[in-house]
Amino acid sequence: MLKKIAVLLTVHNRIDLTLRCLKALKINEKYGEYSFSIIVYDDKSSDGTPEKLLANFTNVSIIHGTGSAYWSGGMRKAFNEAYKNHFDYFLWLNNDTFLHKEALTLLFNSINHSLENFNEECIAVGVTQDPISKKINYGGYKLSGNRFFQNLKLITQLGSYKLCDTFNGNCVLIPRNIAINLKNIDKQFIHSLGDFDYGLRAKEKSIKSFTTKEPIGTCSSNSKEFGVGYFDRLKSFFGPKYLPPKPWFVYLKRHGRMLWIIQFMVPYIYRFLNIKRNL
C-alpha cells in the first residue's frame, strides 16, 4: 500500500547540500511504495534556494521565513503545514543528511519491529555516520547520569533495533497517530533541544522510539565556532544556535533530575572561565 509521507526540512542557504539531500531521498522511491510531499521552511536564504528547489522538484512546497526561525522554529512551522493534510507519516530530515538508497526501508523495518514485538507503532530513529571517520554521530540516546544530574549517551552499538530514550532530529520517521498524540515541537525551543524534548515527551507518554539496525546515511559532524573577542565569544555561546538560557532552563526543568538548577548553570560558568583563560 502506498505510504504518504510528508518530508519536513528547514534550511538557510546551502542549496547544494539541499539538492543533494533531496536527490538521495528521491532514490528511495525505487525501493518502496512511497509518495513524498516535501515541505521546506526556507529561513530567508540568499542563495536562491526556493527558486532552485522548485526548478528541480515538482513535489516541493516552500514556506518563506524571516531568517529568525532556526531549526526548531522552522521544523515547527513545516510540521504545522503538514498537519493540514492527511499524511501517513512525517519524516524529519536535515539537509546535510544524505540517505542511502534503502534508508526508508530501514526506518520502516524499525516500525515493523515494534508492531511485531509490542503490537504498537514507534518513532523510527535514523542513525547516521560521519562520512570521513565512519563513526556513528547522530541517532538515538539513552538516559544516563545519576539521580542528581541528567546525561545522554549516544547509542553507537548497532546490529539490532535499540530502544532509545530520545534522539537527534537529523532523520526521524513519525507515524501519524504518534504525531497527533505528541503534537508539535515545543515553541519554547529555538534551535537545539527541540528534538531531545520531543523524544523525552514521547518516552513520558510510553511511546517507544527505536533506532535503525544500521546507518541510514551520512551526516558530517557539526563543529561550533565562536567569535574572536571575549564578548563576541560569550554572545555566540548565549546565541540561538548554541545554548540560550531560556530553552536550556525549560529543558532541564522539564526533564532534569534533582540538581537540575546546578546543571543549568554549569556550562555558562565553564564557558565564562574557559574564554577568560584563553584570552
Give pLDDT, residue 223. 62
Give pLDDT, residue 231. 45
- The CATH number for 3-219, chosen from 3.30.1110.20, 3.40.50.10680, 3.90.550.60, 3.40.50.720, is 3.90.550.60
What is the Cα–Cα distance from 142 to 166, expressed in whole angstroms? 7
Residues (pLDDT < 50) of the chain are: 225-231, 276, 278-279
Domain boundaries, the chain: 3-219, 230-277
Residue 242 to residues 21, 78, 84, 105, 266, Cα–Cα distance (Å): 24, 22, 31, 33, 15
Give pLDDT, residue 236. 62
The structure's pTM equals 0.93
Residue pair 96/31 in contact (Cβ under 8 Å)? The answer is no
The gap from C-alpha 255 to its chain's centroid, in whole angstroms, comes to 18
